[in-house]
Homo-oligomer: A and B are copies of this chain.
Amino acid sequence: MSAAFDYAPLFKPGLPAPAAKWTGLAKYNFVGGNNDAEQVPVDGLIAASQTVLKREGHTLATYGLAHGPQGYRPLRDFLAKKLKRDAGIACAAEDILVTSGSLQALDLVNGVFLARGDTAIIEQECYQGSNRLMRLGVNTIGIPLDGDGMRMDVLSNVLDDLKQRGVRAKYIYTIPTVQNPTGSIMPEARRAEMLKLAEAHGVPIFEDDCYADLIWGGRRPPALYAMSRNGGVVHVGSFSKSIAPALRIGYIVAGWDILSRALSIKSDGGSGALEQMVLAEYCIPHFATHVSDLTRGLRVKLDTLMEALNEQFGTAAEFEEPKGGIFLWVKLPDNVDTLKLYQSALKAGVAINPGPEWSVDKAYSKCRLRLCFASPTIDEIREGIAVLAEVCRNEFGVPTRSANVTRAAGRS
* Residues from chain B with Cβ under 8 Å of A263 in the complex: 18-19
Q: When the two chains form their complex, are residues A278 and B274 in contact, meaning their CB atoms are under 8 A apart?
A: yes
Q: Are A257 and B8 in contact, CB atoms less than 8 angstroms apart?
A: yes
Please tell me if the beta carbons of B2 and A199 are within 8 angstroms of each other in the complex: yes
B35 x A246 contact (CB < 8 A): no
A104 within 8 A of B: yes
Residues of B close to A32: CB separation below 8 A: 62-63
**Contact yes or no, B2 A115, CB < 8 A:** no
- Which A24-55 residues have a C-beta within 8 angstroms of B? 24-25, 32-40, 42, 45-46, 49-50, 53-54
Whether A12 lies near B114 (C-beta < 8 A) is yes
CB of A259 to closest CB in B, whole Å:
8
A57 CA / B107 CA spacing, docked (Å): 28
Residue from the list B11, B63, B232, B267 in contact with A246, Cβ < 8 A: B63
A contact face: mostly helix, strand, loop, or mixed = loop
- Cα-based distance from A270 to B245 in the complex (angstroms): 9
A297 to chain B, nearest CB (A): 12
Distance A21 CA – B13 CA, assembled complex (angstroms): 36
Interface size on A (CB < 8 Å)?
Answer: 100
Q: A1-B229, A62-B34, A112-B12 are in contact. Are A22 and B261 (CB under 8 A)?
A: no
Separation of A66 and B114 alpha carbons in the complex (Å): 33
The reply to whether A244 and B61 contact each other, CB–CB distance below 8 Å, is yes
A166 part of interface (Cβ distance < 8 Å): no
Q: Are A19 and B247 in contact (CB under 8 A)?
A: no
- Give the shortest distance, in Å, between A195 (CB) and chain B (any CB): 10
Within 8 A of B (CB), among A263-300: 263-265, 267-275, 278
Q: A156 CA to B17 CA in the complex, in Å?
A: 35
**In the complex, are the beta carbons of A248 and B273 less than 8 A apart?**
yes
The verdict on A70 contacting chain B, using a C-beta distance below 8 Å, is yes
A375 in contact (CB, < 8 A) = yes
A111 in the interface (beta carbon within 8 A) = yes
Interface centre among A38, A61, A111, A271 (most CB of B within 10 A): A61
Taking a contact as CB atoms under 8 Å apart, the answer to whether B58 and A42 are in contact is: yes
A204 touching B7 in the complex, CB below 8 Å, given contacts A17-B264, A264-B15: yes
Bound-complex Cα distance A100 to B257 (A): 26
B42:A246 contact, CB within 8 angstroms: no
Q: Shortest Cβ distance from A246 into chain B, in angstroms?
A: 3
A64 at interface by CB-CB < 8 Å: yes
Chain A interface residues (CB < 8 Å from chain B): 1-5, 7-13, 15-22, 24-25, 32-40, 42, 45-46, 49-50, 53-54, 57-66, 68-70, 100-101, 103-104, 107, 111-115, 132, 168, 170-171, 199, 204, 229-232, 240, 244-249, 255-261, 263-265, 267-275, 278, 374-375
Apart from A10-B113, A13-B115, A246-B270, list 9 A-B contacts with CB within 8 A: A5-B199, A7-B258, A8-B257, A12-B115, A15-B112, A42-B54, A45-B57, A65-B246, A274-B278
Across the A-B interface, the 8 shortest Cβ-Cβ residue pairs: A22-B68, A246-B273, A42-B57, A18-B260, A272-B272, A5-B232, A19-B263, A60-B244
A-B contact pairs, 23 of them (CB 8 A): A1-B229, A7-B258, A12-B112, A12-B113, A15-B264, A18-B261, A19-B260, A33-B63, A35-B61, A37-B58, A37-B59, A42-B53, A42-B54, A61-B244, A61-B246, A61-B374, A63-B246, A103-B267, A245-B269, A247-B272, A248-B272, A249-B272, A272-B272
